[in-house]
Chains A and B, each alone.
Chain A
Amino acid sequence: MAPLLLAGLLSSISSLGGDAGVIGRAPLRPREERGEIPEEARIADYQLEVSLDAERHELRGAVTVTWRNRGREAVSSLPFHLYMNAFRGEQTAWMRESRGAHRGVSQSGESPWGYIDVQTARLADSGEALRWTFGDDPTLMTVLLPRPIAPGEQVAVALEFLTKLPRVFARTGHAGDFHMVGQWYPKIGVLDPERGWQAHVFTLNSEFFADFGDYDVSIEVPQRFVVGASGALVAEEALGEGRRRLRYRAEMVHDFVWAADPRFVERLVEWRGVLLRQLIFPERVGDAQAHFDAAIATLESMDARFGAYPWSTLTIIHVPEDAGGAGGMEYPTLFTTSDIAERSLWWAIFGLDERISGILTTVHELGHQYFQGLLASDEHREPWLDEGMNTFANGMVFADWHGPSAWVARLGGQAISEPELVRLSLLRGADLDPVASPADAFLEVTGGYGVTVYRKTAAIMHTLRALAGADAFDEALRAYALRWRFRHPRGEDLEDALIEGLGATLTFPSGSAAGPVHMDVARFLEQALRSVDVLDFGISRVENRRRIGDAGWRVDEEGDLVETPRPETWPKLTALADAEIEGVVVVERRGAMRLPVELEVEDVHGEAQRLTWDGQDRYRVFVFPGRRLRRAELDPDHKLVLEPRRLDNLRYATDQPAPKGLTEPLGEAAEAIALAVLAGVAL
């Protein structure tokens, strides 16, 4: 749907110029719109009180965590994530791997460090003091309970803490008056009934994993600060001395984050009962509508594909230029985006355009509301389930929004789509680690995390969708998303859903007498997700040759040896009739990944034929008796997004003239620019 049309569908509420928003809103959409939420999914409720010292960039807080034991065994200790301690010093696991840089942003400033210091721990009911211990890394703390918590029981633990925000370079922290307050309080781990406690040391590529619950959060800030937070604002109270307290409530979320800056300008729109609130800086206010358009397009697409967005609020936070490290991050009901690149006159002159800066960020981070926010898979153990599936969904959003040939970057009449961008990114670094690897298996020095987890996963899904058919694939993925809402699905759950939805075997007509070609979906997923095999096909030969004739001695019908004389010289191919010719095509599987691939051959009369090769053997020879071939092409519909190298997929027969193809337009472009330079400089 076009952005302008989308914008017209929105009912813009107003620009309130503060952070009042709409006070008292229910955090969840009505049941009939959001669907059922399983009660057993609610495991950890948080009550938080926090005060921001904006000068010292410190948070003084208290949290009461009410945790329900939904496991099968009694629990005598509770692991807590202290994520902020990743930035405590360069000896932490996170800092050792990152070397003080994250996504190209380096740690800077006089006092860049941040930490969280837990000062007291008590049982909330009795006030009994609790002891706690640390392991090798300060990002993980274990609180020891005085008595075990039996299955079905709950315990409330109250902790007081002081959090010092780092100078922002990796998602969270401060930059002047801007405060991005993420991963700022002690967060309890996840008790998996089968695997036990899932609580990990915070490492560079790992994001987060937590149980769902309700959050009741009181935030005290200087009066001048505009605040954006997860959930819905339910109360506001002036405290005197230039300070105020804001109370938020978020339900069935697994994290709570907030941002504050006095310069924020607020923009609001409503979409199907969801309040979209954008906090943007004055100099970028002109971009607000473009971000809303992208957000609405994403919600439209994702809701239709993956089920209803359950919450009633969605906050979009912009980050200032000196806090770029905080941009492009997702949290429940809130995400940070990035700025849209400014269009100069040169962009118009040279026909440049893109939907990557800002727009793709908004699409991507909002997409996480479904995969990270709603399905909430373990991002440490299986990051591909969130980042990769979301990257795939981003391509679907653009297709739903702008049509099947949607572009994300354009140069004049040349455009590149999101799946093409994904495919090309696989050219480097996608064959080092399997997709289905835990976050900390990816090393920063190899640069393989982003391309493998985000892009290769997306390419796998685009490829499977193209092979299985869009309708069946989309339905299977929707069934997965609906079944696993609020339930922390694992990789095998997604794979089972795909196999169930698509069938265990995909069948393709071979286009020849050989019978249909079959593809085992489970085997494909196993190879694609758990190996580093590369998908690469190529055509190694296309030629026409004379068919075997009768020359030489042979036994005739009466049993006598008779000779058919051999001509002095074999006639040239051009002198032979088509019936005396056979076309030969040799296709190779150059990568280790096995997958059916289509082959299209075209003869000199323009007649095309499609065949499917199962791609299992190292190579396959196709012979076409009586056909003089002109060309052969593998994967002519470009279904195999997982194949990064496509330039060896089209070849002309050795005896047939070939068009200049890529050489001609690019050569002419080189010549034209040389001419422009020459004429500009000479004389």
Chain B
Amino acid sequence: MRALGRVLRAPGLWLGLAALHVVLAKVLAAPVVASLGAALQPYHFSDRGALVPALAELLVAQPPVVVAFATAWIASALLGGLLQLVLAGGIIRRLAGPASIAEMAAESARYVPRFAALALYGWVPRAVVLGLVLADPLEIGATPRLVIGGLGLAICAHALELARARAVLCGGGAYHPRALVGAFSAVFSAPRRSLGAVLLWSAAAGLAVAAVAVVSRGLGYGWVIWAARLIAALGVGLQLWRIAVAVAAATGDRRV
């Protein structure tokens, strides 16, 4: 609860980040809307209960619309990765204690190069996990692979977060790979705390899946976008909580 308290004491951070996500998603989807509008002009399709055949017809007639959809989603992933680098320093500072927007911005800017290096190193264990999951050398089946893969990625995410928090709060290095190796060591030496972070990562991933499920199940209904926004806001809260766990761990490290 100590980590959750850090998040709850920063409601502005939570709401601001959630609003940022909503705005960015709107911007990312704007070319799709424009592409659909251009493809349909000057006609209209008004039957919200028959979107699938209409979309199929549209995609056959106007293949570039597919590109618009794909571009929006790929751009979302890239932008998400960029936000990790750009915002992490400020978020960690704020979760560690009160900080002004200016202080957060300065901290964010200061750590971008270091976090870029950490992110690069972080892809090595992630690649190993993904490689093992895809190769399935033990032939364990789809569901166990999904569980193990998720667990591996969650541990990687927590270690990366811990390395970042240590860099910001303890002045630790971040350009050398041993920063990440040390974080992994800390993850495995505090299994209870790490388990919490893993569960939070899993819950956040689950919410992302839930948002997509809401879209597929509710396609055509007006409430879908609001449901997705609500889920995304909850997801942002979970992600902050997960970062706060790393912040608490880094703070504890310093005390030790």
Question: Which A residues have a C-beta under 8 Å from some C-beta of B?
Answer: 344-345, 349-352, 409, 411-416, 420, 423-424, 427-428, 539, 631, 644-652, 658-659, 661-663, 665-683
Contacts and interface: CB of A to CB of B under 8 A. Distances in A.
Contact of A682 (B22, B69, B80, B224): B80
B149 to A, nearest CB: 15
Interface of B: 17, 21-22, 24-26, 28-29, 32-33, 36-37, 40, 42-46, 48-58, 60-61, 68-69, 72-73, 75-77, 79-81, 83-84, 87-88, 91, 142-143, 204-205, 207-209, 211-221, 224-225, 227-229, 231-232, 235-236, 239-240, 243
A659 B44 contact: yes
Contacts of A631: 44
Contacts of B24: 674, 678
A415 B55 CA distance: 12
B235 A668 contact: no
Contacts of B216: 350-352, 411-412
Given A350-B217, A679-B21, A667 B36 contact: yes
Contacts of A680: 80, 204-205, 207-208, 235
A539 B88 CA distance: 54
B42 A679 contact: no
Contacts of B73: 670, 673-674, 677
Contacts of A676: 208-209, 211-212, 215, 228, 231-232
Given A412-B218, A659-B46, A675-B228, A683 B17 contact: yes
A678 B40 contact: no
Contact of B213 (A349, A646, A659): A349
Given A671-B25, A676-B228, A680-B235, 20 more contacts: A344-B142, A412-B217, A424-B53, A424-B60, A646-B57, A647-B43, A647-B45, A647-B54, A647-B61, A649-B43, A650-B43, A661-B40, A662-B44, A670-B32, A670-B72, A670-B73, A676-B208, A676-B212, A678-B76, A680-B80
Contact of A661 (B44, B60, B84, B204): B44
A683 B36 contact: no
A413 B228 contact: no
A414 B52 contact: yes
B239 A679 contact: yes
B55 to A, nearest CB: 6
B54 A662 contact: yes
Contacts of A678: 21, 24-25, 28, 76-77, 79-80, 83, 232
Contact of A350 (B28, B88, B213): B213
B33 A663 contact: yes
- SS of A interface (majority): mixed
A677 to B, nearest CB: 4
B55 A675 contact: no
B46 A661 contact: yes
Contacts of B229: 672, 675
Nearest to B83: A682
Please provide the 10 A-B residue pairs with the shortest distance between their CB atoms, ordered closest to farther.
A681-B80, A680-B208, A672-B228, A671-B29, A676-B211, A412-B217, A667-B33, A675-B25, A682-B80, A677-B76
Contacts of B17: 683
Nearest to B53: A420
14 contacts: A349-B213, A350-B212, A415-B49, A416-B52, A423-B53, A648-B43, A669-B215, A669-B224, A672-B229, A673-B212, A676-B208, A677-B208, A682-B79, A683-B236
A442 to B, nearest CB: 21
A675 B211 contact: yes
Given A349-B213, A412-B217, A674-B29, A681 B57 contact: no
Contacts of A646: 54, 57
Contact of A681 (B58, B76, B221): B76
- SS of B interface (majority): helix
Nearest to B142: A344
A423 B29 CA distance: 30
A666 B46 CA distance: 12
A665 B220 CA distance: 5
Contacts of A661: 40, 44-46
B45 A669 contact: no
A412 B211 contact: no
A671 B32 CA distance: 9
B26 A671 contact: yes
Given A675-B229, A679-B239, A681-B84, A416 B29 contact: no
A652 B43 CA distance: 7
A673 B215 contact: yes
A413 B214 CA distance: 11
A665 B55 CA distance: 11
A349 B49 CA distance: 20
Contact of B44 (A650, A670, A679): A650
Contacts of B72: 670, 673-674
Contacts of B227: 672
B219 A416 contact: no
B146 to A, nearest CB: 9
Contacts of B28: 671, 674, 678
Contacts of B217: 350-351, 412-413
Contacts of B243: 683
Nearest to B218: A412
A670 B29 contact: yes
Given A414-B49, A661-B45, A681 B77 contact: yes
Nearest to B79: A678
B45 A650 contact: yes
Nearest to B161: A683
Nearest to A409: B52
Contact of B87 (A539, A667, A672, A683): A683
Contacts of B43: 539, 647-651
Contacts of B42: 651
Contacts of B204: 679-680
A663 B40 contact: yes
Contacts of B209: 349, 676
A649 B45 CA distance: 9
A681 B119 CA distance: 13
A679 B208 contact: yes
Contacts of B208: 676-677, 679-680
Given A662-B58, A663-B37, A665-B219, A683 B84 contact: yes
Contact of A675 (B22, B33, B52, B60): B22
A670 B73 CA distance: 8
Contacts of B37: 663
Contact of B211 (A352, A670, A679, A681): A679
